[in-house]
Amino acid sequence: MRTAEIRRRFLDYFAERGHTVVPSAPLPTPDPTLLFVNAGMVPFKPYLAGEDVAPWPRAASVQKCVRTLDIEEVGRTTRHGSFFQMNGNFSFGDYFKEEAIAYAWELSTAPVDAGGYGLDPERIWVTVHHSDDESADIWRRVADLPSERIVTRGDEDNFWSMGVPGPCGPCSELYYDRGPALGRAGGPEVDEDRYMEFWNLVFMQYERGPGPGKSGYPILGELPRRNIDTGMGLERMATLLQGVDNLYEIDETRPILDRAAELTGVRYGAEHDSDVRLRVIADHVRTGLMMLADGTSPGNEGRGYVLRRILRRAVRAVRLLGHQDPALPELLPVARDCMAPSYPELTADFDRIAQQAYGEEDAFRKTLRQGTTVLDTAVAKARDEGRHTLPGAQAFLLHDTYGFPIDLTLEMAAEQGVDVDREGFTALMNEQRERARADARSRKAGAADTAALRSVLDANGPTDWQAWERLETESVVLAILAPAGRLPAASTGEIVTVVLDRTPFYAESGGQDSDAGVLTGTASEAEVLDVQRPLPGLVVHQVRVTAGELAVGDTVRAAVDPEWRLGARQAHSGTHVLHAALRQILGPTALQAGSYNRPGYLRLDFPWRGALGPTTRSEVEEAANRALRADLPVGVRWMTLPEAKEIGALALFGETYGEKVRVVEIGGPWSRELCGGTHVEHASQVGVVAVTGESSVGAGMRRVEAAVGVEGFGYLARERDLVARIAEQLQAPKDQLPERIATLLDRLKAADRQSAELRRKEAAGRAAELAAAAVDVDGTLAATGTLSGDGGTARELALAVRDRLDARTPGVVAIGAEADGKTALVVAVNRAAKDAGLSAATLVKGLLSGRGGGNADIAQGGGIPAADLSPTLAGLPALLRK
């Protein structure tokens, strides 16, 4: 039974029994204690904990989950998977133990043709908490289970809580006996490989008090409303129903594993280390696909780092198995096809997913080429000096200069038997972060001390801020501050923080960048670099003195660059227009969650599942520009916050508002937002809104970017010119370009296929020639050759030559390839050579001075100049003699 069918049956079964089917929540979770949903109950936690009232008395879901605490164990054991799906049925004060047990038993054992899973009742065991006689009695009555197949266990195994004071209760787990071939008899306490857990029923009936661990905390009493939280592992059930050994071999993962084996020339089941890597690939490619689909993007922090680590572990496992070419373009579509029956949105959004994944692999391949050499050199040096620990400074260099994540450094060093000074690395990372924070503070307020700014505010009162009314003011310099403290004056070239008694400059806020302009005195001039509000009521200017000397007490003309301000007004009003257009096309849930605008450019983030298609993007852009063509009036009104909410003005989540709020309207109710920014007077003054991009920024959040004003017209003109040039080159009308380009691409693909076929035929022809020319090196046949092509072509030829050598005699083949300035060297050995102690991985590293990798059968490396290929291959006999 396919996994998608197991999923469907579960939801149908519980829907027929009055459960509301709740869609899976996205993997990124708003829970501040988690990066990703890691259990089926996480989206229901507020209802189970009594923090909120559930909208339904009973529910069912198939929840996507990610757990990465045991990521190093993925593939090493057959129990760990980083992505999994949890089928769950929940009761919020409705039914309890008897119904939950009856549901689990009926669905598990009902015949397949009756909608069940058809598990043999005689092979099911259950566990209950040692204090839960009630559940044991229900199992005997409902399922007619004999007492010997009802096992009692303690708190560690069969009592559940969230780990903090709150709801808790005993649980009952279902196990299935997979037969004597997988372990010892005697039930789950004896062998949990043979007896596989597939369903867990949690009976939340008590409230626990404070205390660490899984036991020893006080039970404060009964809950006012008892809940049911059950979880059936979808991959576990698929393992049972598909008759396979583990979760890596079910229909949603095995095709990925098989494709990886095909790419690398490794047979699954032949060798432990290779099997581990194949399982890592299958698990991580699927996990990466699902994380990307739910809006997580590779990055260096939080969720993004987890995704980056998972994708890079998969890519590196493929390379360690000998495949040096890009792997994700071969593997990710297989994962998509495996998961699409349950998640059809993967197909619709695959282009975006693939673009991010393939880009990450490309970046990592560059990182590996540079960083691996540095790491290998550092490890070799440590060994030469008799040390078994890589210094923290070396690990930091790999991270900071070459982009090597510390986890990858730890992994690769451990493979070579070397530890890493993790504490030293962490100390250097903390120093770097502190420098970055100090630099950010310096750029935003000239590194002025907050206490000094407070004294200026206390002595002079709030800044007279006139950015809404004018572009110029006559102002007095109240204070000049630098990192060392207050200064009486600043000379040419110095960058300082200046406080004026009044200013026309807009201070960065509400997504709008600060104004640019100049301060001009009788004997000085200064360029305004940044304007901030470090304290409520105080506006400060970071300036560079460009002429003369600026002194405290000087009277200066503070002038905003009018072109800058016009561009800023266009961008900020354009942001409001685009926000209203998004809500008009997508609906009211497309609520702005963040924005940034500067002259000519804007971006806007909003919660949304999935990418906006080309049609939707066009509709949003058209709605925005219709508002501009209609020349909707732009108005500003002041009112209380309740009044603003009464008329439907939108307030941004997380913003703080005073007693009176400023409401900016464009076209009256069409766009009505609380805003402190600068705006145009009529919508047509924005000029144009040209959407330039739409992307994911993680956690179910999308980002739209656009050019406005002159920059918007320039963007459209460049697009027009580009289309015109392509049309001219292809000699086709503009409206026929998509079809013409598609035809050209088809021809190129056909040409590539023909070229590949010719290369294969050429390789087959050369194989016999190279095998015949093999030389005898102390009883080992050695064949070498070069060709024009990539690593894959060299691999095919090496295997073809190896197959033509006398299988009874140890044989080694080394093939060098060069194409487009890139080189590859592949070494293959036959079984007789392996039995004689030869390893392809060792040989390729010997030829390439430690570079390259693979396994005993076949290995690959590269990165040497094309001119060095033949001399390197000529060194094979000498290497064999060693």
Q: Binding site, residues?
A: 572, 576, 675, 679
Residue 280, SS3 per DSSP: helix
Strands 124-129 and 83-92: unpaired
Look at residue 135 and give its three-state secondary structure. Answer: helix
Phi-psi region of 169 (alpha: psi -120 to 50; beta: other; left: phi over 0): left
How far apart are the two ends of the chain, measured CA to CA in Å? Answer: 55
Decide: 24 and 126 in contact? Cβ < 8 Å: no
Residue 186 falls in which region: left (phi positive, over 0), alpha (psi -120 to 50) or beta: left
**Do residues 708 and 600 make contact, with C-beta atoms less than 8 angstroms apart?**
yes
- How far is the C-alpha of 470 from the C-alpha of 806, rounded, in Å? 90
Cβ–Cβ < 8 Å for 807, 777? no
Q: How far apart are CA 476 and CA 395, in angstroms?
A: 52
User: Residue holding tokens 């494709």?
Assistant: 259
Say whether 382 sits in a helix, a strand or coil.
helix
CB atoms within 10 A of CB 462: 11
Q: Residue 870's Cα: distance from chain center in Å?
A: 43
DSSP label at 125? E
Do the bridges between strand 166-177 and strand 20-21 make them parallel or antiparallel, or are there none, so unpaired?
Answer: unpaired
DSSP conformational letter for 167:
E
* Contact criterion met (CB below 8 Å) for 88 and 20: no
- Round to whole Å and give the CA distance between 315 and 364: 8
Euclidean distance between CA atoms 318 and 321, whole angstroms = 5
Closest CA to 58 of 83, 90, 30: 90
Q: Which residue has the tokens 């970046």?
A: 363
> Strand 811-819 and strand 853-854: pairing?
unpaired
Residues tagged in the binding site annotation for Zn(2+): 572, 576, 675, 679
Q: Where do the H-state alpha helices sit in 80-132?
A: 97-109
Q: Which residues contact 19 (CB under 8 A, 6 or more apart)?
A: 56, 58, 59, 60, 89, 90
**Coil, strand, or helix at residue 466?**
coil
Task: Mention every residue, 6+ apart, whose C-beta is less than 8 A from residue 133.
Answer: none
Q: Which residue in this structure is represented by tokens 């027009």?
A: 720
Instruction: Check: CB of residue 683 under 8 Å from CB of residue 634.
Output: yes
State the Cα–Cα distance between residues 272 and 279, nearest whole angstrom: 11
